[in-house]
Amino acid sequence: MARLVVLGGGVAGHTTATFAAKWLGSQHEVVVVTPNAKWNWIPSNIWVGVGQMTKEEVTFDLAPVYAKAGITYHQAKAVSINPEGSDSSEKPFVTIEYTQEGKAGETEVVEYDYLVNATGPKLNFDATPGLGDGNGQLGENTVSVCTADHAVHASHKLAEAVEKMKGGTRQKFLVGTGHGMCTCQGAAFEYIFNIENELRKAGVRDMADVKWISNESFLGDFGMGGLHMKVGGYVVSSKLFAESLYAERSIDWLIGAHTSKVENGKVEYELLDGSKGEEEFDFAMLIPPFAGVGLKAYDKAGEDITGTVFAPNGFMKVDADYTAKPYAEWKASDWPRTYQNPTYSNMFAAGIAFAPPHLISKPMKSPNGTPINPTPPRTGMPSGIIGKAVAHSVCDLMTKGENAHLHEASMAEMGAACVASAGKGVFTGTAAAMTVYPVVPDFEKYPGTGRDTDYTFGEIGLAGHWIKHILHFLFIYKAKLNPGWTLIPE
């Protein structure tokens, strides 16, 4: 019997573990190590953040689901990996530290035959002074929707702001990115439109100034260098699509901005032209930059090999081409296909945890040398698809032997769907539904836009909103492993 250990029970890790458990049956063991007791459908945190959903509606307990699937579950965080074992252990192992009540702080060693790192991002709030609290957590100046608890807190702050406006006090809302190297603009984009919609519903829109601040060099970059999409029969840049959405809702924008400092009611920023400025706010939701979760790696002798296994940003190296080269030479083929670690073939990374070869957006710097560009997004759909491909590979390696063919899932051959809702009513809600194919542009195949314009499209309306709703219920249904779950695509 061999053992697969999956680090992280989020979108990618949960997909890997549940498919592997199904495909391997009781022949082999699947272990999940994740610090969270609950699974969270993160995209719906947006609705929690405006008080339209509760935390309970977007989360569920992992333990019963893993028990049903026959998965061994440790509520713990991985601290380090020993891919060659150690003096006292021939087998590779991970060292974990429990987070579960009653066992918190206890460490344990878990041996593995195969390891999948799906630990997602560290929400690196402290990268920007005042965005974090100095201990790696969200600070007191802004709110966040990155976790369900953050989103609950954000909804309370939003309700307070609405009350103030009802009492006659004007409020300024600032939403976007909290650093020059952030990704996940899509989440902030969705949140600002939901806030705007809530303010309209509450009858206080005329008392609010709503402003977008982001590190994108143009509105609609989304960390993907923008996209050309079919809208109403035209192929247009996402810049025009996004600007239209903002203008229609009277939302100002400040782009090419590195948020350099956050204080109570004020951010300081530097722009791509090198100028510096300040923006005041009463309510701010700024996405933090992402980094790897800080796992360490040691060789058999106990020497630190973290730099061999992980890229400097803390994400795990996989089969990407990490050779430094200028933007003009970037190719779709730089992107990984199997997510296997190049040094240790029994180790894989899935979802946000893998190190991308480079940005997707054009790299930009201010004249002061400050990098101001979005880092590449690895959204839910790619994370799920990669998680499943990795599960397939590992299962084949376990059942067919070391020479089994590895399954492939390149982001340059994979699409992503992004449905950004603006409001939630069944007949009144609307959403911007966007589909992009492929996520990483392939200019050799599509020399003009880098993408297939038949499948890269966007539109605004109720239809997108219904899709967003259906996705919420479908993905939670699937993640709970309810009957027919394998039929629901990632």
Partner 1 sequence: MKEEELNFEKEQFSLTMIPGKFARSMRTCLIWQFIRFVIINVKMIIVVGKSH
Ligand X SMILES: Cc1cc2nc3c(=O)[nH]c(=O)nc-3n(C[C@H](O)[C@H](O)[C@H](O)COP(=O)(O)OP(=O)(O)OC[C@H]3O[C@@H](n4cnc5c(N)ncnc54)[C@H](O)[C@@H]3O)c2cc1C
Site residues, ligand X (CB under 6 A):
7-13, 33-36, 42-43, 45-46, 77-78, 118-120, 145-146, 184, 187, 293, 351-353, 378-381, 383, 418
Tell me, rounded to whole angstroms, the distance of Cα 44 from its chain centroid: 13
Of 12 and 390, CB closest to ligand X = 12
Rounded least distance, CB 31 to partner 1, Å: 26
- DSSP 3-state helix, strand, coil percentages of the chain (rounded to 5)? 30, 25, 45
- Shortest Å, Cβ 96 to partner 1: 32
Instruction: Give me the residue label for tokens 């073939």.
Output: 345
Partner whose footprint covers residue 464, from partner 1, ligand X, none (CB < 5 to 8 Å by kind): partner 1
**What angle (nearest 5°) sits at the alpha carbon of residue 445, between those of residues 440 and 448?**
80
Q: Smallest distance from the beta carbon of 186 to ligand X, in angstroms?
A: 6
CB of 440 to partner 1, least distance (A): 12
Do 459 and 418 meet the contact criterion of CB atoms below 8 Å apart?
no
Minimum CB–partner distance for residue 320 and partner 1 (Å): 18
d(CA 318, CA 348): 7
Do 389 and 410 meet the contact criterion of CB atoms below 8 Å apart? Answer: no
Q: Note the residues at the interface with partner 1 (CB under 8 A).
A: 232, 240, 243-244, 246-248, 250, 252-253, 381-382, 385, 388, 409, 413-415, 417, 427-428, 430, 433, 435, 437, 455, 457, 459-464, 466-467, 489-490
Indicate the SS3 state at residue 207. Answer: helix
Q: From partner 1, ligand X, none, which one binds at residue 202 (CB under 5 to 8 Å depending on kind)? A: none
Between 311 and 462, name the residue whose CB sits nearer to partner 1: 462
Angle (CA) 373 189 437, round 5°? 75
Q: Which is nearer to partner 1, 154 or 381 (CB)?
A: 381
Of 373, 360, 375, 364, nearest to 442 by C-alpha is 360
Residue 404 touches which of partner 1, ligand X, none (CB < 5 to 8 A by kind)?
none
Task: Choose among partner 1, ligand X, none what residue 204 binds, the Cβ cut-off being 5 to 8 Å by kind.
Answer: none
What are residue 230's phi and psi, to 5 degrees?
-80, 125
User: Toward ligand X, which CB reaches closer, 272 or 385?
Assistant: 385
Residue number, 378 or 424, with CB nearest to ligand X: 378
User: Given the complex with partner 1, which of 124 and 430 has the nearer CB atom?
Assistant: 430
Counting Cβ atoms within 10 Å, is residue 161 exposed (0-12), middle (13-18) or buried (19+)? buried
Is residue 387 within 8 Å of residue 348, measured between CB atoms?
no
Which listed option, partner 1, ligand X, none, makes contact with residue 89 (CB within 5 to 8 Å by class)?
none
CA–CA dist 2, 471 (Å, integer):
35
Residue 351 contact among partner 1, ligand X, none, beta carbon within 5 to 8 Å by kind: ligand X
Buried b (16+ CB within 10 A) or exposed e, 194-215: bbbbbbebbebbebbebbbbbb
Binding-site partner at residue 141 among partner 1, ligand X, none, CB < 5 to 8 Å by type: none
If the CB atoms of residues 67 and 247 are measured against partner 1, the closer one turns out to be: 247
Give me the least distance between CB of 160 and partner 1, in Å please: 28
Residue nearest to ligand X (CB): 10
- Which of the listed partners (ligand X, partner 1, none) does 244 bind, with a CB threshold of 5 to 8 Å by partner kind? partner 1
Q: From CA 138, how far away is CA 285, in angstroms rounded?
A: 11
- The encoded tokens of residue 3 equal 């053992």
418 binds, among ligand X, partner 1, none (CB under 5 to 8 A by kind): ligand X
Closest CA to 207 of 220, 198, 218, 217: 198
Residue nearer to partner 1 on the CB measure, 225 or 429: 429
Give the residue with the Cβ less far from partner 1, 164 or 230: 230
Q: CB burial class (10 A; 0-12, 13-18, 19+) of residue 75? A: buried
| Cβ contact 449:234 at 8 Å | no
Q: State the nearest-atom distance from the C-beta of 97 to ligand X, in Å.
A: 8
To ligand X, the closest distance from the beta carbon of 451 in angstroms equals 17
Task: State the nearest-atom distance from the C-beta of 349 to ligand X, in Å.
Answer: 9
